[in-house]
Each structure stands twice: as structure tokens, then as C-alpha cells.
């Protein structure tokens, strides 16, 4: 028995040493991975963002403000803001309705609706733009004769830009809400309805407070995509200066004309929108996480 005790002590010491070594190794791995993540964040996000503003102010503040207040640039900014003002509310309402239907009800065609929502993720924006050209072009589109008869122009006009942006931003609100609403279930809504609340009051006082941060997250994603969309908008716009150029298209034209400082000056506006969206999204994401812990 006397010989067994030292063996047990040695075994316990080895186990304790192994635990300490494992903790030490895990800390080293944690530091290495954190350092890699921070370096990647700096190289891929911080440096490009700073570079945009450095290049934008390269030739002075006067040129910067002249570039963003140029009449053509202002028209591009105006068209971008109009597109955002139209597409974001529409897709927010659609996303709410679709998420409510998918998460709270069982019905035939549910999988088809989910597939439709995911469709913009599967189709290249350029291909989507070409599809709208084939549909709405007044010269060779399938609906061309009808549009000509009604005097409506969609392709190479602002309506085409709005439609293309609506398509590419369709999934964001719904895709943020569906998992959360499915996880929350229907117990609270059913209790409210049992107590005599109307459908609208149930949504306003029960459902909406539970999803408000996820809704904000989806709205910000939609806004960011609507502001920066290039592929589909480029196809349907025709690049008509002062009429169908959004901010991304205007930046491309300035860059192709070797007006680099002006291009980066206008691009800095998109960067500011992206930074604001990033801050709001992070706040919303944090709130969602806090809400899920309750």
C-alpha cells in the first residue's frame, strides 16, 4: 500500500500538469487566433476605408466638395435616395408579411414562397437585370407592345432601377425575421387572441416588440444593398448621365474617365452609408443576442 500512494501522487501531478499545459496552450491559440482576426480586420476593412477618404481628399477639400456637389453627382445621389426610399419600405412590408406567414402558419405553397424569397441569392444581379430587359424593353421585351401602347418606359429609366433594386434586396428583411419568429413560436400571439385582442393589436403589441431589433437589422441590410447595388442597376439603367445614373454608376464613370479623386469623393458617401449601417447593425445584433438570453 505504501508504494501505491506515491504512484497516485505522481499520477495526480501529471494530470494537474496536463491541465495547466492545456490551459496554457489554449491561451496561446486564443491569442494567435485573435491576432490573426484583428490583422485581417485591419487589412481588409480599416485600411480600405481609410484609403477611400485619403484618396478623396488627395487634391484638397475644395475638389472634394466640388465633386459631391456637382449637378450630375447630385442627380445621382437624388436618384439613389429615391430608390432607397421606395424599395426599403416595400421590401420591409413584404418581409414582415412573408416572415409572419412562414413562421406562424402552415399552408400549401410554403416551400415555394421560401424559394421565391431566396431566389435573388441564387441569381447573379447581372442576369436579373437582363431578365428585366427581356421583360420590359420597349423594343424587344415580352411586355414591350403593351408598354408602348400605354406610353410607359421602364428600361433605361428610373422605374427600371427601382424594380431591379427591389429584386436584389427582396430577401434581407424576411431572412432576418423568419428564424427568430420560428424560434419564438406562437404561444404569446395565441394568448393575446384568446383574450380578445385583434390581429392588428396582437401584431403591434406582441409580435413587433419581439422582432424589432431583427427588423432593424434587416432594414439596414436592405438599405446598404439598395445604395450600393451595381450589377442589376447597370444593366437596366443605360448609364444616362443626369437621368439613370445612381451613385455607384457615377463613381464608375468618373473612375473610367481617370477622375480618381472625384470618384473616391463620391464613393466616400457610400462608405459613410456603409459605416452608419455597420454601427446600427452591430447594435441591433447585440440587442438580438441580449434578447435571446432573456
Q: Identify the CA nearest to 209 among candidates 228, 181, 173.
A: 181
Burial of 218 (0-12, 13-18, 19+ CB in 10 A): buried
pLDDT at 4 over 60: no
- 242, 30 contact by CB (below 8 A): no
The pLDDT tens digits for 227-240 are: 999 999 999 998 88
In the chain, what are the domains? 13-292 (1.10.3720.10)
- Please spell the DSSP secondary structure of 111-132, one letter per residue: HHHHHHHHHHHHS-HHHHHHHH
Q: How many alpha carbons fall within 13 Å on the CB side of residue 152?
A: 11
Q: What is the pLDDT of residue 23?
A: 61
What are the Cα distances from residue 144, in Å, to 20, 166, 167?
Answer: 74, 21, 20
The pLDDT tens digits for 119-175 are: 998 899 999 999 999 999 988 889 989 999 999 999 999 999 999 999 999 999 999
Average pLDDT, the chain: 85
pLDDT at 249 over 90: yes
Q: What is the pLDDT of residue 10?
A: 55
For residues 82-106, give the mean pLDDT: 92
- 264, 56 contact by CB (below 8 A): yes
Q: Which residue has the higher pLDDT, 24 or 85?
A: 85
Amino acid at each position: 500500500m505504501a508504494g501505491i500512494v506515491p504512484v497516485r501522487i505522481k499520477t495526480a501531478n501529471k494530470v494537474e500538469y496536463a491541465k495547466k499545459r492545456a490551459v496554457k496552450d489554449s491561451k496561446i491559440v486564443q491569442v494567435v487566433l485573435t491576432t490573426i482576426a484583428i490583422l485581417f480586420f485591419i487589412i481588409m476593412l480599416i485600411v480600405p476605408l481609410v484609403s477611400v477618404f485619403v484618396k478623396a481628399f488627395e487634391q484638397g477639400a475644395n475638389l472634394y466638395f466640388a465633386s459631391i456637389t456637382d449637378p450630375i453627382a447630385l442627380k445621382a445621389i437624388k436618384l439613389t435616395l429615391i430608390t432607397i426610399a421606395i424599395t426599403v419600405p416595400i421590401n420591409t412590408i413584404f418581409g414582415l408579411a412573408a416572415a409572419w406567414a412562414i413562421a406562424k402558419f402552415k399552408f400549401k405553397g410554403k416551400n415555394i414562397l421560401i424559394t421565391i424569397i431566396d431566389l435573388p441569392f441564387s441569381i447573379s444581379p447581372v442576369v436579373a437585370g437582363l431578365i428585366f430587359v427581356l421583360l420590359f424593353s420597349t423594343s424587344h421585351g415580352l411586355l414591350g407592345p403593351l408598354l408602348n401602347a400605354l406610353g410607359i418606359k421602364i428600361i433605361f429609366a428610373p422605374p427600371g432601377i427601382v424594380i431591379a433594386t427591389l429584386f436584389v434586396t427582396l430577401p434581407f428583411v424576411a431572412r432576418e425575421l423568419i428564424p427568430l419568429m420560428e424560434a419564438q413560436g406562437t404561444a404569446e400571439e395565441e394568448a393575446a387572441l384568446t383574450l380578445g385582442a385583434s390581429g392588428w393589436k396582437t401584431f403591434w403589441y406582441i409580435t413587433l416588440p419581439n422582432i424589432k431589433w431583427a427588423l432593424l437589422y434587416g432594414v439596414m441590410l436592405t438599405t446598404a444593398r439598395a445604395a450600393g447595388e451595381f450589377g442589376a442597376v447597370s444593366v437596366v439603367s443605360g448609364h444616362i448621365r443626369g437621368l439613370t445614373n445612381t451613385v455607384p454608376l457615377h463613381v464608375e464613370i468618373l473612375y473610367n474617365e481617370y477622375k480618381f479623386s472625384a470618384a473616391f469623393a463620391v464613393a466616400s458617401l457610400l462608405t459613410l452609408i456603409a459605416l452608419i449601417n455597420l454601427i446600427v447593425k452591430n447594435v441591433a445584433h447585440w440587442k438580438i443576442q441580449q434578447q435571446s438570453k432573456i
